[in-house]
Structure 1
Amino acid sequence: MTELVPPPSTSGKGLLDRVEDALLPLINLVFLLLMFFIVAGQLSEQPLPELPGGAQSEQEQAPEADLIVKADGQWQVRGTTAKEQSLLSALPEPNPSEPLKLAADQSLTMADLEHLLQRLEDGGYTEVLLLTEPGA
């Protein structure tokens, strides 16, 4: 009886030789990638130049918020410091279609933020938008 499937062509090489021949291009590729990243990733003594509109220039300007809460707990409305008694009168009138924009410092405790949000809710603000810094 004749065989339906011909035996695999090994060209006279053993299994270990064929595996080595198949791995050689992969080893070359890994070596070239390693060399590329070594050359491309060399550290420089000079810092990178400041890009226009970079993160440092954005941090220097105040956020466009209706209410800014500083790290020391001060509340600022339109650049002026507001006391707890005059906070609601200094803010714009509550508008259900436009939320109040609130920018809080990252070191503000959750208890202080919760107290402020309760005060705003008592004043009629049902929608509050908490602004955050991107990529911080």
Structure 2
Amino acid sequence: MIIAPPKRPRSTEDSLLPLINIVFLLLIFFMLAGVLTQKPPFELRTPSTADINGAAQLQHKVLDVGVDGHLAFAGQPIKRDELGKALADWPQDKSLQIRAAADIKAGQLSSLFAALRRAGISQVDLLTRHKQS
């Protein structure tokens, strides 16, 4: 008579190891593949605000404006005359986010807004830094 060996009870540790491995690999993949923030290619200190009513979600394509007039779109430096070409495929129903230096003059921004209007951008969001209380 052949007697089957007793079945080994399956521990929960055996079924958790593959799950832990997959979660760890996904974590590494998203850390390497994801873009969390995009730094402008020049020094930029944004103005601060004390009150935020529904903060805007930061998009991947932000127009950075330096105090000396330097521009960067999506992390790449561009010239002001190339602005229309860089924003040619921008959707009409989406506002463009602008991250400007805190020390920039209003005249510089108004000339930038005129150039954006000529490029077909009708709505912009000016990004600020939340002031810590």
One-letter code of the match for 1:118? A
Separation in 1 of the partners of 2:119 and 2:83? 9
Contact 1:69 1:75 in 2 (8 A): yes
**Structure 2 length as normaliser, TM-score?**
0.51
Larger Rg: 1
Partner of 2:111: 115
- Structure 1 residue 92 displacement after superposition: 5.7
RMSD value over aligned CA atoms? Answer: 2.3
**Structure 1 length as normaliser, TM-score?**
0.50
Tell me the matched-pair count.
77
Separation in 2 of the partners of 1:86 and 1:80? 12
- Structure 1 residue 79 displacement after superposition: 1.7
Higher RCO, 1 vs 2 (CA within 8 Å, ≥6 residues apart)? 2
Higher helix share: 1
Q: What is the aligned counterpart of 1:88 among 84, 91, 109?
A: 84
What runs of 5+ residues in structure 2 fail to find an aligned partner?
A: 1-37, 41-57
Contact 1:67 1:77 in 2 (8 A): yes
The percent identity for this pair of structures is 25
Q: What is the aligned counterpart of 1:102 among 98, 106, 113?
A: 98
Contact 1:67 1:91 in 2 (8 A): no
